[in-house]
Amino acid sequence: MQSTYFMIKPEIVAAGEQQIGAILAMVNRSGFRITRLAMRQLDRALVEDFYGEHRGKPFYDSLVEYITSGPVVCVRLEREDAVAALRELIGATNPAEAATGTVRDLYGTSIGENAVHASANADDAARELGLIFGD
């Protein structure tokens, strides 16, 4: 069993419970267990740390602005091979390139506003779960 970090981004939370519920249902149907769940407004310092690998890139400032623009849904998920399985379920970073039926294909609007986050690898999952939940 492996843990990973999943996050529903602000534009989806702002759109209301229907989209949050639909996305969590997709996750559940893919065999994940939700072991932590919280709606939170993340502060700038935390988000700068969370996305530290992207500091200095052209999209970094807008990314931090966007993720701090409203509440997000923070989720710890467990499944066999959770990290890779969740990345497959969410699809490519750019919704225009995301495989049909993935979360970003269905709910993303642009490469910036791409609906959800999922940890890229096991080390990132541990780091992100630590930052968000203190696990």
Positions 79 through 118 that interact with ligand CDP (CB under 6 A):
93, 111-112, 114, 117
Residue 94 C-beta: closest distance to ligand CDP, Å: 8
> In whole angstroms, what separates CA 3 from the centre of its chain?
14
- C-alpha–C-alpha distance, residues 119 and 133, integer Å: 14
Which range touches Mg ion (CB under 5 A), out of 30-38, 71-79, 107-115, 119-127?
119-127
Answer with the entry of Mg ion, ligand CDP, none that 119 interacts with (C-beta below 5 to 8 A by kind).
Answer: none
* The residue to which tokens 């509440």 are assigned: 71
DSSP alpha helix (H) spans, 54-121:
60-67, 82-90, 103-107
Residue 14: left (phi > 0), alpha (psi -120 to 50), or beta? alpha
Per CB under 6 A, 120 contacts ligand CDP: yes
Amino acid at residue number 135: D
Binding footprint of ligand CDP, residue count (CB under 6 A): 8
Give the footprint of ligand CDP on this chain (CB under 6 A): 59, 63, 93, 111-112, 114, 117, 120
Binding site for Mg ion (CB under 5 A): 120
